[in-house]
Amino acid sequence: MKRFIVVGLGNFGASAAAELHAMGHEVIALDSDPQQVEMMASKLRRVVVGDGTDPEVLERLGAGDCDVGIVSTGDDIPASVLTAIGLRDHGVREIHVKVVSDVHARILDKIGVTSTIFPERESAKLLAKHVVSASILKYFELGPEFSAQEMAVPESWVGRSLRELGLPRQFNVSVVAVRDYLSDRMEPIPDPDAPLKDSDTLLVAGRSKDLSRVARIE
């Protein structure tokens, strides 16, 4: 179990805090808006009204004892930057910040945050992928021109094995894991000789253009 501090309880911050709490982690959440705090009071054990840019507030909440910080202050770029600096100064090693622009992201990268997140951009990319191919369930950018996607097993692959399909040879992609959607069981090192089922999903990694080719398989 990890200890998280979430600053900012808009849609992104509130969803992240609720999900982490549901997973059994300890979550401290704060927002400067009493109404946002009241909305989350029944979903979290510890949620308070406070200013994340104030080092004394962070100290009082025990930010220094947290493993991970998540900052989601909407369009208030100075607030997110000051909050990230405050968390870093309190010794929080892992800091993830929701950003609203490339400039915002570059500022935070220079501060040394762990990651910057564009929720709207990522949602738009997933929507675009899903519109093009209904088989795409999730999509992750891992770097320039390199991505991973979770996809349903195409009908023409059901009953065939990964070894038989030879995806690295045919498409220059690799299957990182296989998940049975019905049991939610993940095989991080899939058996190359096991026949794929129509209830399986595949986590496939490779260059974005190669993944697009795979997504068009029916």
- Give pLDDT, residue 118: 81
- Give pLDDT, residue 134: 55
What's the CA angle centered on 178, arms 175 and 184, to 5 degrees?
A: 155
Q: Taking the domain 122-215, which CATH number applies? A: 3.30.70.1450
The yes/no answer on whether domain 3-117 falls in CATH 3.40.50.720 is: yes
More confident residue, 128 or 186: 186
Check: CB of residue 7 under 8 Å from CB of residue 69. Answer: yes
Domain boundaries, the chain: 3-117, 122-215
pLDDT greater than 90 at residue 141:
no
Average confidence (pLDDT) over 114-124? 75
Average confidence (pLDDT) over 158-167? 94
| Interior/surface letters 196-210, b for 16+ CB within 10 angstroms, e for the rest | beeebbbbbbbebeb
Average confidence (pLDDT) over 165-194? 90
* Count of other CB atoms within 10 angstroms of residue 112: 10
CA distances from 124 to 15, 119, 166, 203 (A): 18, 8, 31, 20
Q: Tell me how far apart the alpha carbons of residues 160 and 165 are, in angstroms, rounded to a whole number.
A: 7
Alpha helices in 41-166 (DSSP H): 55-60, 77-89, 102-111, 119-132, 162-165
**pTM of model > 0.75:** no
pLDDT greater than 70 at residue 124:
no
Phi, psi of 4 (to 5 degrees): -115, 150
